[in-house]
Amino acid sequence: APVTCRPADLLKPELAELEADVRRQAQEKGIQLAGNAIDDVLTVALFPQIGLKFLENRHNPAAFEPLPQAEAAQPVTKAEKPAASGIYTVEVEGKAFVVKVSDGGDISQLTAAAPAASSAPAT
């Protein structure tokens, strides 16, 4: 038979049962629930495999992964010399271009490009 009502209305209410279960497990394991226990119930509902472990260790940061630390910057290595000069065929968007590459293409200084003119109409 086709569903003629809101599909969620066909589900059995589970929140009260889940809340009782979380409270029972918390009491058995000595877990102190938050002042507003619904937050902890929802944590367990959303994360059933690790929710209770989180609640057990809520105030124990050593039980969780350490915070990521910034890695020390690696020293910059000098770039290897580019490939030898020569004539190459480069394809861009299906079109072939013959380019000549010469020695001496090292970058010695970078300057910022001028900002592009806006294509938006002035108001």
- pLDDT tens readout for residues 70-104: 776 677 776 666 566 788 888 999 999 888 877 76
Residue pair 32/26 in contact by the 8 Å Cβ criterion: yes
Average pLDDT for the chain: 82
Query: Under 8 Å CB-to-CB from 97, ≥6 apart: which residues?
Result: 89, 90, 91
Residue 14: which of 55, 42, 53, 33 has the closest Cα? 42
* CB-side neighbour CA atoms (13 Å) of 67: 3
Average pLDDT over residues 49-75: 84
Residue pair 101/86 in contact by the 8 Å Cβ criterion: yes
Average pLDDT over residues 7-11: 90
Q: Cα–Cα distance between 109 and 115 in angstroms, integer?
A: 19
